[in-house]
Structure 1
Amino acid sequence: MRAMTSSPVAALVVVLTLGAVLLVSGAAKLRDRRATQDAFIALRVPAVVPAGPSAAALPWVEIALAVLLLVTPARFSWAPAAVVLLLMLAYTALIARALTFDEPVTCSCFGSIGRHEVGPQTLGRNVLLSALAALVLWYAVDGGSAPGAMGELGAAGWWALLATASAVAVALLVAAPPSAVSSARSSASEVEVLDYERQPIPYGVLTHLNGNSATLAEAASTQARVLFFLNTHCGSCLRIAEKVDGWADRLDPAVGILVVYTDESAAAGQVGHRPDLATWEPELNAQRVLGLSGTPAAVLLGADGLLAGGPVTGEDNILELVEAVLEEVEAAGAPVEQ
């Protein structure tokens, strides 16, 4: 580690990188605290770590650690570096465990800017961050610190650091995904297209808890149906489930509701709504034919054998779809209680 101690530019690049990740992660979590709490549920964080208080405190912990990495003098720099390493190792362990779950996991590891399905790439990123944290701890134990490295920089060192930061900024701008606004507009456009270009209900099979099975088209043969695809380990899914009974009462008898889970045990263990609304889909067949890649999701099946709305994914989009269905039912004169 003497190489890093004798090279303040390299040391600062590593420390600043880790500090920037923590700062961005903490700030993003503060912007979307609900997503952070949902991540605790999705990753099935052990109950000894209470989701509510921990999700509220975590953003501030990350921001504080980022600051401490940059300002703590050499004598004490090992302390925040050790905490950061433990935090990164905990994140990595949670992601590795999530990859073994039967159901896909969506994690907001970086708050409002990091919502994605957990996969090998997520694990690789966390392993790399853990390696950087170990490097920073080794550097601190060897007597190094960010303030000390800054004090050793000459003019050439500052120029090298500035050039590195500029290169990273350009790379991020080039590789940045489309904005959330653009994605939302794209999703809205897809829903509007379905309104005008309705497609036949694809072939899929749902199984009820009583053992009876029906295709998607058969499920909608007597009345239009809204299908909600939920996951029992998903915060936004649980919030949708709690609203299902109320929606079912308001839409009856014009539109029926079914809640679709990934397997029989999940359907039997559902909470938040009536058991008679629960179904499950063998081998995720309904999600596949509808082109869905995550939960929560919803689709409106028309009684005429055509898709009548959606499919849509995400809590906000589902709420918009349900509100549109309620408005249509009211406009048709069906009795909808308020």
Structure 2
Amino acid sequence: MPVSTGVLPVVVAVVLLVAGVAKIRHRADTRGALGRFGFPPAVIPAIALVLPWGEIAVAALLLLGGPLLFALGAAGALVLTGGFFFVVARAARKGETFECGCFGTWERSRIGPLLVIRNGALLAAAIATAALAIAGLPGVPALLGTATGADAQWAVMLAAAMGLTALFAAAGASARSAPTSLAELPTQPDAQDATATEVVTASGAVTRLRDLALQHPQVIVFVRHGCGSCEDLLRDVESDRAGTVDVLFAVSGDRTMFETAHPGLASRALYAVQAARSALGVSKTPAAVVIGLNGTIAAGPVSGAAAVRELLVRTAQTA
């Protein structure tokens, strides 16, 4: 086969490789994106762990494998790109506009027709790669090993395809970090999607974060059992030293231990909050966010005890 037949497999491999590395570097964003796509909260951590390594493994098989391994990589690429196309097309059909998280925070593409087209093109390339595997393509290394002087231009094209794909994926690179003070509060770009995540109330009811703020803005403070700063903050709220503000506590950890340690706050606790933490980008506790009446993020998220206390004071003053 001519060296030119290796262009599409290399493009597919590099896209998957860059996407996998980006997801590993920004795993919280990956979990948030999976939640916005509608995956059940119970399986999101497992998918966020396995998916990036699956992408990297498939890319390695396509780039480095012999005939059999290349065929396995082609099948894996077909499954992955087909799945990506399906979930993006479904979200677009529903009118969703959130960021897909395809390349972590390296490239910010929102759900829409252009993203569907892009994923469709990637799926088409994966189908062509699978067809090449069926036709007996021996693998990219073996293919390059047969190159002659006349094939040098195709080798250059292969290298260019790899470089351009990587640059495309990283073009929007920008490290996203949680603000630490009210002066750094941004408007959440995916607030509607983040506040659509579900939690379990103290009474056992399943509700969306945005539905907690139907009558008035709601402060959600994320706490974790064993976090010393969280415990200090909880004691301040119990003794009214945190200011007169209505607060709900999103608890990570054992429910019984929280209720035993803070019986006065038991009715204000929320559980099964991992999907909400992921969607909001909350990686450390304590952290807090204010949900407005329209389901958007009115303030935050902020992290750290000092920033949370400041947010509570400001909210109490404007209540």
User: TM-score over 0.5 for the alignment?
Assistant: yes
Q: Is the 8 A contact 1:298 1:318 kept in 2?
A: no
What is the CA distance between 1:62 and its match in structure 2? 0.9
Query: In the superposition, relative to structure 1, how do residues 234 and 127 fare at CA in structure 2: closer, same or farther (>3 Å)?
Result: farther
**Alpha carbons of 1:166 and 1:81: their partners in 2 closer, same or farther (altered >3 Å)?**
closer
Written as runs of structure 1 = structure 2, the 5 A alignment for 1:130-279 is: 130-144=123-137, 145-162=139-156, 165-166=159-160, 169=163, 177=171, 179-180=173-174, 230-233=194-197, 241=220, 243=222, 249=237, 253=243
Which residue number corresponds to residue 109 of structure 1?
A: 102
Number of aligned residues: 245
CA positional deviation for 1:142: 0.4
Higher-Rg structure is 1
How far apart, CA to CA, are the structure 1 residues paired with 2:197 and 2:185?
A: 32
**In 2, Cα distance between the equivalents of 1:178 and 1:45?**
26
- Is 1:106–1:117's contact at 8 Å kept on the other side of the alignment? yes
Whole-Å separation in 1 of the counterparts to 2:120 and 2:220:
35
The structural deviation recorded for 1:100 is 3.5
CA RMSD of aligned residues (A): 4.6
Helix, strand or coil: the match of 1:106? coil
168 and 139 in structure 1: CA distance in 2 versus 1, 3 angstrom threshold: closer
Q: Which deviates more from structure 2 when the two are superposed, residues 171-180 or residues 125-134?
A: 171-180
Which secondary structure state, in structure 1, belongs to the residue aligned with residue 195 of structure 2?
coil
Distance (whole Å) between structure 2 residues aligned to residue 107 and residue 162 of structure 1: 32
**Greater relative contact order: 1 or 2 (C-alpha under 8 angstroms, separation 6 or more)?**
2
Residue 26 of structure 1: how far off its partner (Å):
1.0
User: Are 1:81 and 2:79 counterparts?
Assistant: no
1:62 aligns with 2:55: yes
> 2:94, 2:170 → 1: CA distance?
29
Query: Cα distance 1:251–1:90, how it changes in 2: closer, same or farther (>3 A)?
Result: farther
Cα separation, partners in 2 of 1:126 and 1:174, compared to 1, 3 Å: closer
In 2, Cα distance between the equivalents of 1:328 and 1:139? 58
Is the contact made by 2:7 and 2:161 (CA closer than 8 Å) also made in structure 1?
Answer: no
Which residue of the partner structure matches residue 39 of structure 2? Answer: 45
Task: Please list every run of 5 or more consecutive structure 1 residues that lacks an aligned counterpart in the other structure.
Answer: 195-227, 259-270, 288-296, 300-316
SS at match of 2:100: strand
Paired with 1:11 and 1:251, the residues of 2 have a C-alpha distance of 69
> 1:122/1:322 Cα in 2 relative to 1: closer, same or farther (>3 Å)?
farther
Distance 1:172 1:70 in 2: 15
Identity %: 26
TM-score by length of 2: 0.59
Q: Which residue among 36, 45, 49 is the counterpart of 2:30?
A: 36
Partner SS state of residue 19, structure 2: helix
Match of 1:211 in 2: none
Q: Structure 2: 5+ residue runs without aligned partners?
A: 200-207, 210-218, 224-232, 249-269, 274-289
Distance 1:79 1:193 in 2: 47
- Relative distance call for 1:149 and 1:167 in structure 2 (3 A) is closer
Q: 1:257 to 1:128 in 2, by over 3 A?
A: same
Counterpart contact for 2:13–2:60, Cα < 8 Å? yes
For 1:42 and 1:234, locate their aligned partners in 2 and report how far apart those are by CA, in whole Å.
11
Q: Which amino acid aligns with 1:232?
A: A
Q: Structure 1 residues 103 and 233 mapped into 2: Cα distance closer, same or farther (>3 Å)?
A: farther
What is the match of residue 129 of structure 1?
A: 122
The separation in 1 between residues aligned to 2:70 and 2:165, in whole angstroms, is 30
Q: What residue number does 1:218 align with?
A: none
CA offsets 1:307-331 (integer angstroms, 9 cap, x no match): xxxxxxxxxx521599547348779
2:14 to 20, 32, 37: 20
Report the Cα distance in structure 2 between the residues aligned to 1:76 and 1:98, rounded to whole angstroms. 33
Per-residue deviation, 1:233: 3.3
Q: State the one-letter code of the partner of 2:78.
A: L
